[in-house]
Amino acid sequence: MYKIIEKRALAPQIFLMDIEAPRVAKSAKPGQFVIIKMDEKGERIPLTISDYDIKRGTVTIVVQTIGCSTKEMENYEVGDSFLDFVGPLGQASELMSESIEELKNKKIIFIAGGLGTAPVYPQVKWLNEQGVKADVIIGAKAEEYVIMEEEMKSVAGNVYPCTDDGSYGYKGLVTNKLKDLVQNEGKKYDLVIAIGPMIMMKFVCKLTEELGITTIVSMNPIMVDGTGMCGACRLTVDGETKFACVDGPEFDGHKVNFEEAMRRQTMYKTQEVPKNEGIKPGCGLGGTK
Amino acid sequence: MSKMNRVKIAEQEPKIRATNFEEVCLGYTEDEAVEEAARCLNCKNPKCVTKCPVAIDIPGFIQHVKNREFEEAVKVIAKYSALPAVCGRVCPQETQCESKCILGIKGEAVAIGKLERFVGDYSRVHNVDISQTKSKNGKKVAVIGSGPAGLTCAGDLAKDGYDVTIFEALHEAGGVLVYGIPEFRLPKGTVVKHEVENVIKLGVKIETNVIVGRTVTINQLMEEEDFVAVFIGSGAGLPMFMGIPGENLNGVFSANEYLTRNNLMKAYKEGYRTPIRTGSKVAVVGGGNVAMDAVRTAVRLGAEGHIVYRRSESELPARAEEVHHAKEEGVIMDLLVNPIEILGDDAGNVIGMNCIKMELGEPDASGRRRPIAIKGSEFVIDVDTVIMSLGTSPNPLIASTTEGLEINKWKCIVAEDETGLTSKKNVYAGGDAVSGAATVILAMEAGKKAAKAINEMLAN
């Protein structure tokens, strides 16, 4: 059993949890993820690691309630436990395999969309520990959905919040902000790392291809085991089939087939409980008969 | 009934069982088992034993069954096998023990598998204690993977007094016994759980949710956690795809995904949250046991099931009993057929599969006649779900994170035949991780041999 040590609301429908999992905390690296199965009847859901603390033996996850399981997860409180918590899964961020000298010569900007801000944080934090200050664009639909801005500011160079409705920071999409920084403010970037909804990552890649900036994305397809044994998470990258759980989740964004990935994400849509409808008993159900 | 024929065994009616996940074969009653056991000639030089990978004293346990000494029969098998209720159900007996039974020459071989299953089930129902172990020697051995190879190796080492911990990546122990083989062939809550519990009763610890190579490495286990030897029984769980166009359409699955959703995650059961997409017409590509399991699962979820296989019926690698059961349940066999493209609609959903007809040519290196495409014979099978069951290969994760562990070109771990010793000191391996996808009993044999070798190495 994996105990919840801390729980905190970050925004409407977004909450953070520190989970006691010493083995995972000890091995976790930025860019990796975990799979949680809440109870006996639960499904296995992948969540990116947002932070980890070897001394406390905890791993931090940030969750947005978008369906049956995440909604149920919101009912768990400090002191409760999850039945299964496995990880760290996937490859560590590619940044970690580069030499520190090379990284220091690079201008890096992260683009975090919504919940994607959480997995961006450990990477920016890690870079900061190596003496590299990266810029970060945080995108959200409105002010109350901007998360982890303070934490981010403490480890990043410039932090640029953007909101769709202009209630906070720059008014507009993250792609507009990046364009503005490069074309109007004369900023130069060698590397963009985008983490967020697939549609956002797709449009970031479209823009950076025009701007000629190498772009890494963290893909979030449907997963079951997360260890490479089923291929549910398969993607086409540069014309080849890859399993996001073992080959990724990070890939060269300019080589990812986003149309296919977005289509595969909707595979079980009819079986998921629509937003705001509450949890029905057995919303997984047996098959589509 | 003539002595030449085996005692009939009760099965669920095909029409009924095709709508449920209950076990198909109901097993022998005590009287039936005694009657079947009485057919055994108790050969002086039993050929059946030579074809059992773990060399169970087959006439020995059968004579006990014949004499109604069921507990004695349990103890005879326990000397050789930790999973009789499993192996009695899933071994391909027609190519192993039963293939050499003298009675099989003129009539039907003794139903060795069904009798083994009876004994295994008897042991569970009557709680026969087989947990005797030698006194603890304080030496720690790590076993990676809780499938048949790992369970067997761990059980044997625990009997010899070792302090054994199994590390399992999934949330439940059993490997292919829990995620791969369906409930209707191998009940999980009773049979598999009990055989795993038997291993735990021997003092073996099982840590689930630990992925060796990610959560912890072999070097860490040996250097930081004082394990003096390691056995790798991580299997061959990486699914293969054909590489044909349309394979990433919505509605194309690996058999591993389809079966994992259903067996491990219990998608077929009310109240469990993992969804499964069944479709109304399902094609399973392949002809092995996994293909049969997948297609029979699809039938039970309400679909019309097809097996699409590029060779003919006599080359089907699946167990004869499963092929027979599949046909009884209404599975349609599209033989000598090979897919060349999966077709989708504008939304990316599968709407059909373009196939080509095949004929058999000369035997290839493996001795099987090679299938050759017949030019111009393309046709479309109208299906909305495709399940690829083309075999699996070992997951490279452990090898790629363990320095000095040699693998071959098929990504299988290189290990000595007799001992399972790898290129790395005090690290052993066995089962599908070494051989590539094979059978439960061969994995058990490898686990047994490695346990013996580890014991000999550590005793000195």
Q: pLDDT of A40-80, one tens digit each? A: 999 999 999 999 999 999 999 999 998 888 999 999 999 99
For B259, which residue in chain A has the nearest alpha carbon? Answer: A230
Burial of B411 (0-12, 13-18, 19+ CB in 10 A): middle
Task: Identify all chain A residues contacting B269, using CB atoms and an 8 Å cutoff.
Answer: 286
Packing angle of the helix pair B30-37, B112-125 (nearest 10 deg): 140
Structure confidence at residue A216 as a pLDDT band (50, 70, 90): very high
CB contact, 8 Å: B19 with chain A?
A: no
According to DSSP H, which parts of B317-386 are helical? 320-328
- Do A286 and B272 count as a contact with CB atoms less than 8 A apart? yes
pLDDT for residue A159:
96
pLDDT for residue A156:
95
- Do B214 and A271 count as a contact with CB atoms less than 8 A apart? no
CB contact, 8 Å: B234 with chain A?
A: no
The answer to whether residues B149 and B447 touch, using CB atoms and an 8 Å cutoff, is yes
Structure confidence at residue B164 as a pLDDT band (50, 70, 90): very high
Q: Which residues pair with A19 in a beta bridge?
A: A4, A59
Nearest one of A38, A39, A36, A41 to A24, comparing CA atoms: A36
The answer to whether residues B195 and B151 touch, using CB atoms and an 8 Å cutoff, is yes
Domain B241-390 top-level CATH class? alpha beta
For B234, which residue in chain A has the nearest alpha carbon? Answer: A229
Specify the amino acid at residue B109: A
pLDDT at A278 over 50: no
| Nearest neighbour of A23 by CB, restricted to B216, B260, B348 | B216
* Ramachandran class of A246: left when φ > 0, alpha when ψ lies in -120 to 50, beta otherwise: alpha
- Do B248 and A241 count as a contact with CB atoms less than 8 A apart? yes
Instruction: Report B:235-264 residues touching A (Cβ under 8 A).
Output: 237-239, 241, 243, 247-248, 250-251, 253-254, 256-257, 260-261
pLDDT at B315 over 60: yes
Residue B434 token pair:
């070494």
Give the number of beta-carbon pairs within 8 Å between A and B: 142
Place of tokens 């023990």: B97
Residue-wise pLDDT tens digits, B201-251? 999 999 999 999 999 999 999 999 999 999 999 999 999 999 999 999 999
Residue B19 token pair:
């709508």
Residue-wise pLDDT tens digits, B378-418? 999 999 999 999 999 998 889 888 999 999 999 999 999 99
Structure confidence at residue A287 as a pLDDT band (50, 70, 90): very low
pLDDT at B111 over 70: yes
pLDDT at B125 over 60: yes
The answer to whether residues B110 and B88 touch, using CB atoms and an 8 Å cutoff, is no
Q: Where are the beta strands (DSSP E) in B78-157?
A: 140-144
Task: Identify all chain A residues contacting B279, using CB atoms and an 8 Å cutoff.
Answer: 288
- CB neighbour list of residue A105: distance below 8 Å, 6 or more residues apart: none
Q: What is the DSSP string of A154-182?
A: HH-S-EEEEETTSSSSEES-HHHHHHHHH
Instruction: Report B:274-333 residues touching A (Cβ under 8 A).
Output: 274-279, 301-302
Structure confidence at residue A274 as a pLDDT band (50, 70, 90): very low
| Nearest neighbour of A284 by CB, restricted to B208, B239, B267 | B267
- Do A282 and B211 count as a contact with CB atoms less than 8 A apart? no
Residue A195 token pair:
């983490």
Distance from CA of A185 to the nearest CA of B (A): 41
The answer to whether residues A219 and A249 touch, using CB atoms and an 8 Å cutoff, is yes
Strand B163-167 versus strand B140-144 pairing type: parallel
Distance from CA of B82 to the nearest CA of A (A): 26
pLDDT at B338 over 80: yes
Instruction: Report B:179-208 residues touching A (Cβ under 8 A).
Output: 208
Distance from CA of A202 to the nearest CA of B (A): 18
Strand B163-167 versus strand B205-207 pairing type: parallel
pLDDT for residue A272:
53
pLDDT for residue B459:
85
CA distances from B8 to B108, B264, B301 (A): 11, 32, 29
| Nearest neighbour of B248 by CB, restricted to A224, A225, A234 | A234
Residues A79/A84/A88/A91 CA torsion (nearest 10 deg): -140
pLDDT for residue A275:
37
Helix (H, G, I), strand (E, B) or coil at A264: helix
Work out the number of other CB atoms within 10 angstroms of the CB of residue A153: 12
Residue A186 token pair:
């004369």
Q: Which of B13-27, B78-92, B253-267, B361-375 has the lowest mean pLDDT?
A: B361-375
Whole-angstrom distance, CA of residue B155 vs CA of residue B227: 17
**Which residue, among A27, A33, A224, A225, would best test binding to B if mutated, counting the most B CBs under 10 Å from its CB?**
A225
- Do A86 and B301 count as a contact with CB atoms less than 8 A apart? no
CA A74 to chain centre: 18
Structure confidence at residue B312 as a pLDDT band (50, 70, 90): very high
The answer to whether residues A116 and A36 touch, using CB atoms and an 8 Å cutoff, is no
The answer to whether residues B423 and B224 touch, using CB atoms and an 8 Å cutoff, is no
pLDDT for residue B4:
86
Options 3.40.50.10470, 1.10.1060.10, 3.40.50.720, 1.10.540.10; CATH for B14-125 is 1.10.1060.10
Whole-angstrom distance, CA of residue B335 vs CA of residue A146: 58
The answer to whether residues A258 and A198 touch, using CB atoms and an 8 Å cutoff, is yes
Residue-wise pLDDT tens digits, A92-124? 998 988 889 999 999 999 999 999 999 999 999
Distance from CA of B378 to the nearest CA of A (A): 26
Complex confidence, ipTM? 0.89
Whole-angstrom distance, CA of residue A191 vs CA of residue A15: 29
- Do B397 and A69 count as a contact with CB atoms less than 8 A apart? no
Residue B459 dihedral angles phi and psi, to the nearest 5° = -70, -25
Nearest one of B249, B215, B331, B238 to B283, comparing CA atoms: B331
The answer to whether residues B85 and B191 touch, using CB atoms and an 8 Å cutoff, is yes
Instruction: Report B:339-358 residues touching A (Cβ under 8 A).
Output: 347-348
For A67, which residue in chain B has the nearest alpha carbon? Answer: B273
Place of tokens 């260890």: A227
Task: Please name the helix (run of DSSP H) or strand (run of DSSP E) that holds residue A20, with its range, or none.
Answer: strand A14-20
Bigger pLDDT: B156 vs B1:
B156
| Nearest neighbour of A87 by CB, restricted to B215, B243, B397 | B215
Domain B140-237+393-459 top-level CATH class? alpha beta
DSSP 8-state symbol, B301: T
- Do A86 and B210 count as a contact with CB atoms less than 8 A apart? yes
CA A241 to chain centre: 22
Residues B319/B323/B324/B326 CA torsion (nearest 10 deg): 130
Q: Where are the domains of chain B?
A: 14-125, 140-237+393-459, 241-390
